[in-house]
A and B are shown apart, each in its own frame.
Chain A
């Protein structure tokens, strides 16, 4: 693994909603061009982590360093031009706007729309091209997910944050989306993906972090995490052997 030039480094990040602390001091690193997965159950703090990186939530303490920029001190709209784009939880496509205009909004931070890039997004998700003049709200869940990812690619990001891209999708669509993510990664985009679907996320990623109620409890190579007994029991649905005996 590349050890130098970390792209994104989170140090002892604490975030709370009122009196409830969502992140209790997490640290993680992302290197250029790798795919990193954060897995964990509901309420573990996965979405909070991504929203804090994007500047939608203020950190209580700690640092998020991205290529020399301290992201915790930068407002959300200035983080996108630095090269960090997010496909948020629940997709949040602009329902009453057409698919094509959603993509154009994705390129908002570029001042000028890169139509070659839009073609690339359409190649990645041909379904979007067929429906480019349709209102985004009329798309199916899977298509909306494609649009959310496509939209986040339009600003030519260096780093892509994906929040639960598999949520609520049929297995065949999950496969399709994850294949696309692999393809995006091949283009040199660094990916930080947050997932409840631990198996799919760990198969896709190079490294993984396991988040439990605001703490990182385990991290390492994704292959090793897939084999780890503890993780298999907690997240991959394998029953404890000794219970069967």
Chain B
């Protein structure tokens, strides 16, 4: 039983990171109908930028949690600007081109990010310091939960609640949803769709930046090509939840995290990835719209 509880705790932690990253994929897909394959590498870039900023600022703060929060905020700003530039340079000129062109452009942008990380930080892995978060542990019978896991779970939870409120309860959120449904109709409401797309990229990059730093803090080791693996997992999570659907990405992320860690706990961790893809194939066969992807039919 303790294995189960332990794997659920681990699964929820990694699942909420997947969810944060998956939101970036799903929000861009929702409005622009293409997969931003550069998102994973942007997440990797966030992990590196975050680590560099943390090591620069950490000596100025007595409390490492404050140092982490400060680095997180600076990283978010930097990555949001890069996300904006990505949209501006790689996607906006292709707004009217076939979606395949935008996907190819995204793959290219991903390579640019990956190689940029390698050129700046080198091909060898970097490590988040072991003491970045005080190494506190709580016991539940035989299972343990660490302070870093609690921090990741809480922060992810509040960020996702914030996003949910923004999208569902505010004027800007209504505009985001309208632009996702039909851009021309949104323009006829007086919505500046270009501005909405910028907001979406900034939001997606913000969530990705948080996800990237969490990955570094949780696993410690980061490599220039880590974006591809985590990116694909988060992308699968977005599909499982129903691509284009915001609560779906949150749910899909948590679900995939739990699934992964239970497979790792009960079957084999080397097979966890294989089972992820088996799950993806099954979802695509039996419920291609994902868990929450069901849409009301548009009547003509």
B120 within 8 A of A: no
Within 8 A of A (CB), among B250-300: 295-300
Chain A residues lying within 8 Å of B220, measured Cβ to Cβ, are none
Size band of the interface chain B makes with A: 20 to 34
Known: A77-B190, A77-B192, A97-B178. A88 touches B298 (CB 8 A): no
Q: Is the CB of A95 within 8 A of B190?
A: no
Q: How many residues of A contact B (CB 8 A)?
A: 36
Question: Which chain B residue shows the least CB distance to A155?
Answer: B190
- The contact of B190 among A56, A96, A109, by CB within 8 Å, is A109
B139 within 8 A of A: no
Known: A92-B182, A135-B296, A144-B299. A55 touches B177 (CB 8 A): no
Question: How many angstroms from the CA of A76 to the CA of B189 in the assembled complex?
Answer: 9
A146-157 CB contact bits vs B (8 Å, 1 = yes)? 000001100100
Q: Is the CB of B190 within 8 A of A108?
A: yes
Q: Is the CB of A139 within 8 A of B299?
A: yes
Q: Is the CB of A92 within 8 A of B185?
A: yes
A220 within 8 A of B: no
Interface residues of B (CB under 8 A from A): 171, 174-175, 177-178, 181-182, 184-193, 295-300
Min C-beta distance of A141 to chain B, whole Å: 6
A243 within 8 A of B: no
Question: Which chain A residue shows the least CB distance to B294?
Answer: A96
Chain B residues lying within 8 Å of A106, measured Cβ to Cβ, are 189
Q: Is the CB of A90 within 8 A of B300?
A: yes
Question: How many angstroms from the CA of A137 to the CA of B181 in the assembled complex?
Answer: 11
Q: Is the CB of B174 within 8 A of A108?
A: yes
Q: Is the CB of A55 within 8 A of B187?
A: yes
Q: Is the CB of A80 within 8 A of B184?
A: no
Pick from B177, B185, B190 the residue with the most CB of A within 10 Å.
B190
Within 8 A of B (CB), among A89-117: 90, 92-97, 101, 104-106, 108-109
A126 within 8 A of B: no
Question: How many angstroms from the CA of A75 to the CA of B185 in the assembled complex?
Answer: 14
Known: A105-B175, A108-B175, A138-B296. A94 touches B181 (CB 8 A): yes
Question: How many angstroms from the CA of A96 to the CA of B178 in the assembled complex?
Answer: 9
Known: A95-B181, A96-B181, A96-B295. A104 touches B174 (CB 8 A): yes
Chain B residues lying within 8 Å of A155, measured Cβ to Cβ, are 189-190
Chain A residues lying within 8 Å of B296, measured Cβ to Cβ, are 95-96, 135, 137-138
Question: How many angstroms from the CA of A33 to the CA of B191 in the assembled complex?
Answer: 26
Question: How many angstroms from the CA of A202 to the CA of B258 in the assembled complex?
Answer: 64
Pick from B171, B174, B188, B190 the residue with the most CB of A within 10 Å.
B188
Name 12 A/B residue pairs within 8 A (Cβ), A-sorted.
Answer: A77-B193, A80-B190, A85-B188, A92-B184, A94-B182, A104-B174, A105-B175, A105-B178, A108-B171, A108-B189, A137-B297, A144-B299
Question: Which chain B residue shows the least CB distance to A101?
Answer: B174
Known: A96-B296, A137-B298. A76 touches B188 (CB 8 A): yes
Question: Which chain B residue shows the least CB distance to A107?
Answer: B189
A54 within 8 A of B: yes
Chain B residues lying within 8 Å of A86, measured Cβ to Cβ, are 188
Min C-beta distance of A48 to chain B, whole Å: 13
- The contact of A54 among B177, B188, B193, B299, by CB within 8 Å, is B188
A187 within 8 A of B: no
A60-80 CB contact bits vs B (8 Å, 1 = yes)? 000000000000000111101
Question: Which chain B residue shows the least CB distance to A94?
Answer: B181
Q: Is the CB of A97 within 8 A of B181?
A: yes
Chain A residues lying within 8 Å of B178, measured Cβ to Cβ, are 94, 97, 105, 108
Chain A residues lying within 8 Å of B177, measured Cβ to Cβ, are 94, 96-97
Known: A95-B181, A97-B178, A104-B174. A88 touches B300 (CB 8 A): no
A140 within 8 A of B: yes
